[in-house]
Amino acid sequence: MSSAAPLVQILANVRHVVLVLSGKGGVGKSTITTGLALALRQAGNKVGILDVDLCGPSIPRMLSVGRPDVHLCDAGWVPVYTDAQKSLALMSIGFLLDDPDKAVVWRGPKKTALISQFVSDVAWEELDVLLVDTPPGTSDEHLAVLENLKKHRVDGAVLVTTPQAVSTGDVRREITFCKKTGVPILGIIENMSGFVCPHCSECSNIFSKGGGEELAKLTGSVFLGCVPLDPQLSSSMEEGKDFMELFSNSATSTAIGGISQTLLQRLQTT
């Protein structure tokens, strides 16, 4: 897009840029990204989400924005706002795909070229935090995101894992990726940490618990907190409803809100 402004200019009004990473798929990375965005907005921040997960751009559904037409301005693509106050902005790579039900069967260079243009050409307005939901793993797509965002800056990465050893092992590789690419690790979140009963609200550890916290200790990383498996959270994301508003008194909402505040503190001190 020849009319797009330089990346530094596009992100000039963005205070903090945070990557959300996972070592593997299926750990709830996009759910955590959406939950953090809703919690940060609830606390009075202006938040943006850049959804570059080619494997499954699911955040438009979680925020109930569907497939809107993406408009252009002189600076680039205009993000979609989820509210009239423009407190939560979203740009998803899913908006640009012709058919959301078809798999993206592209070779690396084509994918990285699209991601590079996508990262560089979104005209963000004033934001306190921009969360970047990345594909799982440590692929070329990650490097494309980093190479472009580093022209501006990346404050750091939040790593999402589940308690099991198979997931924490993959996150170890993600930590190595961050260190090799010079991305500060803001902290680790343990998702699916126990199951909240929808009837009595008791939390049972049906998988295991503590794997993420133990990994943080072993690697010298900050542990941001745990988020349980909660049917109310799952159904809210499926239906595109604001879980943080609907279930503000729940233990899960309190957990996500606490993690978002710890993350903000980390951003202000790193």
Has 25 been labeled as part of a binding site? yes
Parse the chain into domains and list their residue ranges.
14-269
Give the per-residue pLDDT at 8.
59
Give the per-residue pLDDT at 1.
44
Has 260 been labeled as part of a binding site? no
Has 220 been labeled as part of a binding site? no
Give the per-residue pLDDT at 100.
62
Pair 235, 201: CB distance under 8 Å: no
Give the per-residue pLDDT at 35.
97
Q: Which residues of 132-147 are buried (b: 16+ CB within 10 A; e: fewer)?
A: bbbbbbbbebbebbbe
Has 208 been labeled as part of a binding site? no
pTM of the model: 0.89
Give the per-residue pLDDT at 257.
97
- pLDDT band of residue 197 (cuts 50, 70, 90) is confident
Lowest mean pLDDT among 2-6, 39-43, 118-122, 219-223: 2-6
**Both tokens assigned to 245:** 């508003």
- Report the 3 state secondary structure along the chain: CCCCCCHHHHCCCEEEEEEEEECCCCCCHHHHHHHHHHHHHHCCCCEEEEECCCCCCCHHHHCCCCCCCCCEECCEECCEECCCCCCEEEEEHHHHCCCCCCCCCCCHHHHHHHHHHHHHCECCCCEEEEEEECCCCCCHHHHHHHHHHCCCCCCEEEEEECCCHHHHHHHHHHHHHHHHHCCCEEEEEEEEEEEECCCCCCEECCCCCCHHHHHHHHHCCCEEEEEEECHHHHHHHHHCCCHHHHCCCCHHHHHHHHHHHHHHHHHHHC
pLDDT tens, 154-186? 899 999 998 877 667 778 888 888 888 888 999
What is the spatial distance between Cα 8 and Cα 172, in angstroms, rounded to a whole number? Answer: 31
Q: Phi and psi (nearest 5°) for 80?
A: -90, 130
Has 56 been labeled as part of a binding site? no
Give the per-residue pLDDT at 157.
93
Residue range 14-269 in CATH 3.50.50.60: no
Has 30 been labeled as part of a binding site? yes
Average pLDDT, the chain: 85
Has 24 been labeled as part of a binding site? yes
Has 28 been labeled as part of a binding site? yes
Question: Does the pLDDT of residue 48 top 90, yes or no?
Answer: yes
Question: Does the pLDDT of residue 3 top 60, yes or no?
Answer: no
